[in-house]
Amino acid sequence: MGSKLSVDKSVQVVIVGGGFAGIAAAYKLKSNGIPFILVDIKDSFHHNVAALRASVESGFAGKTFISYKDSYQDSFIQGRVKGINLQKQTVVLEHSEEIHFSHLIIATGSDGPFPGKYNQAATRDTAIQIYEDLVKEVQKAKHVVVVGGGSAGVEMAAEVKTEYPEKEVTLIHSKVPLADVELQPCVRRTIKEILLKKGVKLVLGQRVSNLNEMTLNVVKENMELHLDKDPEVITADLILCCTGIKINSSCYIEAFGDKVASNGALKVNDHLQVEGYNNIYAVGDCADVKEPKMAYHASMHAKIAVTNIINSLMEKPLKTYKTGSVSMLLSMGRNDGVGQVNGIYVGRFFVTIAKSKDVFVSNSWKEMGQKMPK
């Protein structure tokens, strides 16, 4: 822990959202002895970067949910923030309870389909059980279809096929190149090669036209998926959806009006302050910063925001956030990986060490001052 600052009694930082950005902010505030309240819908941090592994391997989900209370005790409140009262400088919870802030860090991140995301007002035990239930469905299934070939979808298909090579796995993607546009062509090609080598069937440049009629995440025999450009019908008994990540803007959209970009993110200046407000910061996926939405960037934002809160209290100049270069590691199942770091291609060995061996997950347990369960 760093040296504690002596701050005025009126200082109370409120962090809305305990994802990668929120826990990094909480860690730095705690280290500096600055009073804070962290609010999240769930009772535990979800390491969603490892959510897809937790969907195929029994026993893994317990490592991906870390109790906030055990880390932050009374500095954590479980609840959904439904609004921000800028006049009163409060955040308003679901049952109209208000929490006063001197400084506010908005870190509400993004939401998307389970299993990549799990943003429910559930207990840790319930959340873990829901992933364990999905593992059982994957184990029962004969033909798994993954819809969406962005970074989450390619990882999902690879995780299923690595863990259960005997299962038929099909990945359907609306575009022809796989994974994120920010990745170099050679990385995207390697991703495709890995999937094909593992035996994943690829259906590219096609959208599923009847996805909203399908049952997701539960085995159901002979589900028929229709494609928009091809008369071929794909039959599956388990469908996993990995598309449609959206920014969680509901709690601030009313308060900030024109400070909200068209995708729902909050417009920020170089210090990550919401435009026009010097005591309100937006960090992580919900900050309108032109860079890929990543856990690594989210925690970098949080560190800058907390440094700037400290600097403003000490009347020092504020720090500027420089957009990160694209570093992305994709875990293509436990024994494979690919990615790029600072624009340089990195292959299997590095990624397997960095990602597939639980290093990322154990770092979060350390950051939250707890020991990862075996």
Ligand X SMILES: Cc1cc2nc3c(=O)[nH]c(=O)nc-3n(C[C@H](O)[C@H](O)[C@H](O)COP(=O)(O)OP(=O)(O)OC[C@H]3O[C@@H](n4cnc5c(N)ncnc54)[C@H](O)[C@@H]3O)c2cc1C
Q: Structure tokens of 262?
A: 């068209």
In the complex, the smallest distance separating the C-beta of residue 339 from ligand X, rounded to whole angstroms, is 8
Of the candidates 13, 25, 34, 51, which one interacts with ligand X according to CB under 6 A? 51
Alpha-carbon distances of 109 from 83, 102, 148, 320, 325, rounded to whole Å: 15, 22, 20, 21, 20
Task: Confirm or reject binding of residue 293 to ligand X (CB under 6 A).
Answer: yes
Per-residue binding string, ligand X, 154-193, x by CB under 6 A, is: ----------------------------------------
Of the candidates 83, 112, 149, 264, which one interacts with ligand X according to CB under 6 A? 112
> Is 94 or 224 the residue whose CB approaches ligand X more closely?
94
Residue at token pair 């994974």: 179
User: For residues 2-31, which are near ligand X according to CB under 6 A?
Assistant: 16-22
Output phi, psi for 368, to 5 deg.
-90, 10
Task: Confirm or reject binding of residue 113 to ligand X (CB under 6 A).
Answer: no
The sign of the dihedral angle between the CA atoms of 291, 295, 298, 302 is: negative
Omega before 177 within 30 of 0, i.e. cis: no
Task: Confirm or reject binding of residue 253 to ligand X (CB under 6 A).
Answer: no
Task: Confirm or reject binding of residue 80 to ligand X (CB under 6 A).
Answer: yes
CB atoms within 10 A of CB 10: 8
CA 341 to the chain's CA centroid: 19
Q: Structure tokens of 298?
A: 């989210």
Task: Confirm or reject binding of residue 273 to ligand X (CB under 6 A).
Answer: no
Per-residue binding string, ligand X, 299-338, x by CB under 6 A, is: ------------------------------x---------
> Is 7 or 255 the residue whose CB approaches ligand X more closely?
255
Task: Confirm or reject binding of residue 42 to ligand X (CB under 6 A).
Answer: yes
> Is 156 or 309 the residue whose CB approaches ligand X more closely?
156
Q: Structure tokens of 28?
A: 């730095």
The three-state secondary structure class of 70 is helix
Task: Confirm or reject binding of residue 49 to ligand X (CB under 6 A).
Answer: yes
Query: Of 266, 251, 295, 272, whose CA–CA distance to 117 is shortest?
Result: 295
Amino acid 312 reads: S
> Is 7 or 127 the residue whose CB approaches ligand X more closely?
127
Per CB under 6 A, the segment of 114-122, 124-132, 161-169, 206-214 that binds ligand X is: 114-122
In the complex, the smallest distance separating the C-beta of residue 143 from ligand X, rounded to whole angstroms, is 22
In the complex, the smallest distance separating the C-beta of residue 292 from ligand X, rounded to whole angstroms, is 8
Task: Confirm or reject binding of residue 48 to ligand X (CB under 6 A).
Answer: yes
In the complex, the smallest distance separating the C-beta of residue 22 from ligand X, rounded to whole angstroms, is 5
Task: Confirm or reject binding of residue 89 to ligand X (CB under 6 A).
Answer: no
What angle (nearest 5°) sits at the alpha carbon of residue 277, between those of residues 271 and 281? 50
- Give bridge partners of residue 170 from the DSSP assignment: 145, 201
User: For residues 137-156, which are near ligand X according to CB under 6 A?
Assistant: 152
> Is 74 or 315 the residue whose CB approaches ligand X more closely?
74
Residues 6+ apart with CB under 8 A from 248: 17, 108, 109, 110, 111, 119, 264, 285, 286
Q: Are strands 337-341 and 344-346 parallel, antiparallel or unpaired?
A: antiparallel
CA dist 283 and 307 (Å) reads 13
> Is 7 or 147 the residue whose CB approaches ligand X more closely?
147
Task: Confirm or reject binding of residue 294 to ligand X (CB under 6 A).
Answer: yes
State the DSSP string of 121-168.
S--HHHHHHHHHHHHHHHHH-SEEEEE--SHHHHHHHHHHHHH-TTSE
Binding site for ligand X (CB under 6 A): 16-22, 39-42, 48-49, 51-52, 80-81, 107-110, 112, 116-117, 119, 152, 248, 251, 284-285, 293-296, 298, 329
